[in-house]
Amino acid sequence: MINGNSIQRVFILGMDGAGNFIQHTDTPIIDAFLKKGASTLTAQAQSPTISAECWGSILHGVTPEKHQLNNEVAATTTFPSDSPYPSIFRLAREAWPEAKLAAFSSWRPINSGIIEEDLGIHKESLPDEELVGAIENYLEHNLDVKLLFMQLDEPDAAGHKFGYGPDSKLYLEAISKNDGLFGRVLGTIEKLGLLEDSLVILLTDHGGGGDNKYSHGSDHPMDKNVFWGCVGPGIEPGTEVPGLYIVDTAAVAAHALGLGLPENWDAKLPSFVGK
């Protein structure tokens, strides 16, 4: 059960397009970290299994039918600040006007079109390795950050170029490379003494290679099944997480921060979290 009284901040650390293929390649850092808490390899991406629809659900707590985001919308417009479906960032800002909030995304439309503008969020959009360097620097100078989001993009780019799945060597290598980048962020969190009173969520938005070797968007298990896990105070090591949808990430993060869940959110609290 998540101990909200012991949690001072939440980290949502994600990579794009990795599905549950961490089980088919070397990801020693993610594997070891997830053993410290609750995890699953069969969390369900939202449909359609496309980046904007899925990251939009992760951050806004509702299905794509409600948030109405797709890749074109996210790339060309800003998310309405008066939407009835606030992101976890907007909930945090309304609760704590002065809190430090940060979003680091390799895929720029997350920062420009999925997360609301005008909330005073520190945002950076850079290639994966540069992005991780920026996160390390930010954490060194902002130990009191309340909510930090990260999205690395290379696995999805590799899947589109080389094909998704357990038989795609260069795709799997991209996931393994991201494992090392995750390790740098997790190592910084631990080095700075933030791990013991933080909830850290690790996830991906969708998989790929189901109906199309070089794409995603279908309800095929290769597109839908994704890894998801979290580590933090009150979570028993080795906890299994059944029946989770990635939209539930918003509920887990909000609950850990002591924020009330909007009644119109589709995000639900998994049983291991408590009430």
Where residue 88 sits, what CATH number does that domain have? 3.40.720.10
pLDDT tens, N- to C-terminus, the chain (275 residues): 787 679 999 999 999 999 999 999 999 999 999 999 999 999 999 999 999 999 999 999 999 999 999 999 999 999 999 999 999 999 999 999 999 999 999 999 999 999 999 999 999 999 999 999 999 999 999 999 999 999 999 999 999 999 999 999 999 999 999 999 999 999 999 999 999 999 999 999 999 999 999 999 999 999 999 999 999 999 999 999 999 999 999 999 999 999 999 999 999 999 988 76
- pLDDT 10s digits, 176-194: 999 999 999 999 999 999 9
Neighbours of 220 (CB within 10 A): 16
- How many structural domains comprise the chain? 1
Q: In angstroms, what CA-CA distances link 121 with 103, 148, 236?
A: 7, 10, 32
Q: Which domain holds residue 239?
A: 4-273
Please state the pTM of the whole predicted model: 0.98
Residue-wise pLDDT for 189-242, tens only, equals: 999 999 999 999 999 999 999 999 999 999 999 999 999 999 999 999 999 999
Q: What is the pLDDT of residue 197?
A: 96
Tokens 């002065």 belong to residue: 98
What confidence score (pLDDT) does residue 1 get?
76
Distance, CA of 193 to chain centre: 22
How many whole angstroms separate alpha carbon 169 and alpha carbon 159? 10
